[in-house]
Structure 1
Amino acid sequence: MRKRTASALAVVTAALPAAAADAAAPKQRGYVVTLKQSVGNSGAAVEALRRQGRFETRFRYARAIKGFAADLDAAQLRKLRKDPRVEHVQPDIHFSAGEMVPTAAGETTPVGIRRIGAATSDGSREASRVNVAVLDTGIDLRDPDLDAVDGVNCVKPQKAAQDDNGHGTNVAGVIAARNQGQGFVGVAPGTRLYSVKVLDARAGGRLSQVLCGIEWVTVNARALDIRVANMSIGGAGRDDGDCGASDGDPQHQAICRSVAGGVTYVAAAGNAGEDFASTVPAAYPEVLTVTAMTDTDGEPGADGEASCADGEVDDSFATYSNFGSLRDAASHTVAAPGTCVTSTGLRGDSSTYVGTSQAAPHVAGTVALCHGSERREGPCADLSPARIIERIRSDAQRRATWANGFLGDSTRTLGGRYFGPLVAADAY
């Protein structure tokens, strides 16, 4: 397999205004409109609002939330905000998985997979009995190393959810690249993945597209046995402690309803080197949030060689990684390798990335393993998402010793920065 190396740091950006219409028309911006839960037939309500306001909807939501996304001018916006059926109106903010930039050649073996105990020199784990949704730039649906299935394209709805960036395919490989004698083995090799494309070829997207992806997962989770969803993406926002009901955050509301349907969401903490309290979905306590550490040799002990990323040291917290506070983050945060992670790439190539975007799929794969395989039931098989998060965290914490951990983990905290214990895939 040919090798192509690159790195990507997932970033959070401010909201971007929609392109202006022609000079004669009122200026419009994108918004997400959430209806009150008391609205019975949300489809009929959305259609009535559309006709009354004379606008077109870009997305309509019925399960994860009740509402829609549309480009609105000031007059339409004022009218909607006064409508008794409307709960909240929020700008359609920007989300991103980061930008690919060149980097020095890195290692070509999945040391992170070995570091968390998902694979050894003698073999790897089996495919999970449940399926995983990857909300990202899509997945290369033609890659023979992946059991990837077309889910939904929320960027260009009439097309397949094919990856046109590479970020999502790298993430997918970390979760579940097959053990077939070539390429790179994933944490849960051969597990079925559903491609949920919410980001475009530049790894950017809008809140409305992310909501489209969460809606699709929520609607199809039971029929397709999707029990895990990976979100290596981030945007600006905070936790209101009320599943988005107090501050009207539609993404928080949508994730909480999807979680209630049995899906465990795994989210990247972000790469700004700051508290992830201002990054969503990482800040939501209902998701399993993943910070990044650096491992270069697949073993504890801090004896590994230099990293492909400047300033990153073996068996230490990643300097770029966001972190939490002990008070707010301890209940839903673990760490995983995120630096110089080599995995599947587009068109049969490999790709190497740097970021919490790569740490998160190590944990999503671990959650899939915890559900068990076709031959055996795992300890997470009958647990709710909240209990699964508790189980993954507690198993990681039990293995967080000085001999097995990393600088910055829960046994060696750094001031107020909490990175959590290293996830333990070998517990399953």
Structure 2
Amino acid sequence: MDTTAFLHWLQDTVAAEEGPSAIRRIIRFQEPSDYSQFLREWSELSTPSQQQAVKQIQIIRAISCRLPAKETLSRFAGRVWIENDFRITVDAAPQKSLSAEKGIPWGIQHVKAPLAWSTTTGHRIKIGVIDTGVDFSHPDLRHSLSRGINLINRSMLPHDDNGHGTHIAGTIAAANQVHGMIGIAPRAQVYPVKAFDHNGSAFVSDIVLGIDWCVRNKVQIINMSFGMKTRSKALLNSITNAYNAGVIVVASSGNDGKRRSVDYPARYPQTVSVGASTRLRRVAPFSNRGAYIDIYAPGDKIVSAWLRGKYHEMSGTSMATSHVSGAIALLLAYKPGLSPADIKSILKRSVQPLRGTKAPKLTGELDIMRMLQAADR
């Protein structure tokens, strides 16, 4: 490939494409040598403003930048692929603000996490939460957080300006036994990866960078409480890289109440796809369901940590996903070295049947004690 010609084309296009017709696109290089050559030339020949306009996504040999919507890169056909850098949104909506929460929330009791704590607390298991960041000052999370990364502003800690990420982190690993709430795996470590802005919105390219960061930092579980309707080769490629590196990816199925469809990335077989259930052990009305779901977990009226040391009740498959990520942390601390395929198999073998005449028969609800027993067999 003539990387110099590509570089000049990119410089001209980036300079011209600031109008309303431009959208974010991902350009992936087929050959590693072409990508390496491009990166070398780009760092030497581009201006600081051009470098700022082009995001490097090295895990999948790609870049992301604003380009014309109809650009096909036909002149570089066979050497690069192009796809839209779609926006993704988090899978939940806040319902009720609460000033205090004491003890063990219903979902954590429901999946029998407290019965497991004499055996495993998730000690030292690393969980990457790709989300809106986290409230580092929340008293229930103080002992459960590592530094993480802010992909929106690299010079800052991944502070949460939305609340969703803090809620997810609380269910996974809150640890304030005396005055606050306790999460599923209170001795696990949450690595907040801020890819979503204050509106709960992110680009696929930032999710890919977040996955890359998690893999490089030896995170064992990645929680993805978000989804989109469109398939992305870039996202699939990065999730496959994580899976092959031994990282288990847990993803929410979406909140459309669909019977035969789930959101991406939960639809990919390399993830654990999570649907939401209620206190009555039924599928939550808002949850997507069907053959693509691997497991259900509490997702209806879930209370967890929120901004400024507060608590919020939220419903969504996001909340269900955080229960499963916490459960996997308990499992990995109990049985180190399990592969993503092992973990998925243990989860699916150990579910509790759901209630209701329309309940799915091929899968069921998370039960942590049954999960640990299945791991011993």
What TM-score do the two structures reach when normalised by structure 2? 0.83
- Would you say 1:207 and 2:162 are equivalent positions? no
- Three-state SS of the structure 1 residue aligned to 2:148 is strand
Residue 136 of structure 2 is matched in structure 1 by 141
**Does the 8 Å CA contact 1:119/1:125 hold for their aligned counterparts?**
no
Cα deviation code 1:122-159 (max 9, x no counterpart): 98952333210001101112223222122111222222
**Does the 8 Å CA contact 2:302/2:314 hold for their aligned counterparts?**
yes
**Does the 8 Å CA contact 1:218/1:261 hold for their aligned counterparts?**
yes
Letter of the 1:33 partner, please give it. Answer: I
Letter of the 1:323 partner, please give it. Answer: R
- State the aligned residue count: 350
- 1:130 pairs with one of 113, 118, 125: 125
- 1:28 pairs with one of 13, 22, 33: 22
> Where is the helix percentage greater, Structure 1 or Structure 2?
2
Residue 383 of structure 1 is matched in structure 2 by 338
**Does the 8 Å CA contact 1:341/1:352 hold for their aligned counterparts?**
yes
State how far apart, in whole Å, the 2-side matches of 1:275 and 1:49 are: 47
- 1:289 pairs with one of 266, 273, 276: 273
Mapping for residues 19-418 of structure 1, pairs under 5 Å: 27-36=21-30, 38-40=31-33, 42-46=35-39, 48=41, 56=51, 57-63=53-59, 65-73=60-68, 77-78=71-72, 80-84=73-77, 86-98=79-91, 100-103=93-96, 108=101, 109-119=104-114, 126-146=121-141, 147-221=144-218, 226-238=219-231, 249-275=233-259, 277=261, 279-295=263-279, 314-325=280-291, 329=292, 333-372=294-333, 378-379=334-335, 381-396=336-351, 400=352, 405-407=353-355, 413-414=358-359
State how far apart, in whole Å, the 2-side matches of 1:394 and 1:407 are: 18
From the superposition, tell whether residues 43 and 217 of structure 1 become closer, same or farther in structure 2 (CA, over 3 Å). Answer: farther
Letter of the 1:187 partner, please give it. Answer: I
State how far apart, in whole Å, the 2-side matches of 1:24 and 1:94 are: 18
From the superposition, tell whether residues 85 and 183 of structure 1 become closer, same or farther in structure 2 (CA, over 3 Å). Answer: farther
State how far apart, in whole Å, the 1-side matches of 2:65 and 2:268 are: 25
For residue 117 of structure 1, report the CA deviation from its aligned partner: 0.6
Deviates further, 131-140 or 203-212: 203-212
State how far apart, in whole Å, the 2-side matches of 1:97 and 1:22 are: 32
Cα deviation code 1:143-182 (max 9, x no counterpart): 2322212211122222211111110001001001114312
**Does the 8 Å CA contact 1:323/1:418 hold for their aligned counterparts?**
no
- Backbone CA RMSD of aligned residues: 3.1
**Does the 8 Å CA contact 1:81/1:88 hold for their aligned counterparts?**
no
Aligned residues with identical type, % of pairs:
27
What TM-score do the two structures reach when normalised by structure 1? 0.74
Cα deviation code 1:29-81 (max 9, x no counterpart): 10111111x32363432454796999544421222x11111112368x34x44
Residue 368 of structure 2 is matched in structure 1 by 425
State how far apart, in whole Å, the 2-side matches of 1:58 and 1:23 are: 12
For residue 250 of structure 1, report the CA deviation from its aligned partner: 0.4
For residue 270 of structure 1, report the CA deviation from its aligned partner: 0.6
Letter of the 2:288 partner, please give it. Answer: N
Segments of structure 2 that go 5 or more residues without pairing to the other structure are 1-14, 373-377
Letter of the 1:193 partner, please give it. Answer: V
- Three-state SS of the structure 2 residue aligned to 1:236 is coil
For residue 350 of structure 1, report the CA deviation from its aligned partner: 1.1
From the superposition, tell whether residues 52 and 168 of structure 1 become closer, same or farther in structure 2 (CA, over 3 Å). Answer: closer
Deviates further, 150-159 or 316-325: 150-159
From the superposition, tell whether residues 345 and 119 of structure 1 become closer, same or farther in structure 2 (CA, over 3 Å). Answer: same
Letter of the 1:29 partner, please give it. Answer: I
Segments of structure 1 that go 5 or more residues without pairing to the other structure are 1-20, 239-247, 296-313, 373-377
State how far apart, in whole Å, the 1-side matches of 2:361 and 2:250 are: 17
- Three-state SS of the structure 2 residue aligned to 1:96 is strand
From the superposition, tell whether residues 232 and 387 of structure 1 become closer, same or farther in structure 2 (CA, over 3 Å). Answer: same
Cα deviation code 1:328-379 (max 9, x no counterpart): x26xx1000000111111111111110000000100001111012xxxxx23
For residue 385 of structure 1, report the CA deviation from its aligned partner: 0.8
